[in-house]
């Protein structure tokens, strides 16, 4: 019973991570007119950590 739950949870986490990345990318595209190179200088992991906190 436990292992299917773990598999489901890990696949859900992956989906959530993908959604967060897509959200941040969309937000980046929206802001590109304001600051063109800002996103390129930011480490995605660092950005992700800030987003979670």
pLDDT band at 51 (very low <50, low <70, confident <90, very high): low
Q: Residue 13's domain spans which residues? A: 2-52
Q: How much is the mean pLDDT over the chain? A: 69
Question: Does the pLDDT of residue 18 top 60, yes or no?
Answer: yes
What is the tens place of the pLDDT at every residue in 19-32? Answer: 888 888 887 766 66
CA 26, CA 32: separation in Å to the nearest integer?
10
CA 36, CA 5: separation in Å to the nearest integer?
43
Pair 24, 51: CB distance under 8 Å? yes
Question: Does the pLDDT of residue 16 top 70, yes or no?
Answer: yes
Q: What mean pLDDT is predicted for residues 23-42?
A: 64
Q: 32: which 2 tokens?
A: 């590109």
Pair 20, 48: CB distance under 8 Å? yes
Looking at the structure of the chain, the number of domains it has is 1
pLDDT band at 44 (very low <50, low <70, confident <90, very high): low
């Amino acid at each position: 019973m436990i292992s299917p739950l773990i598999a489901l949870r890990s696949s859900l986490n992956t989906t959530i991570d993908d959604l967060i990345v897509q959200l941040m990318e969309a937000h980046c595209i929206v802001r590109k007119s304001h600051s063109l190179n800002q996103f390129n200088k930011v480490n995605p992991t660092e950005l992700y950590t800030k987003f979670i906190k």
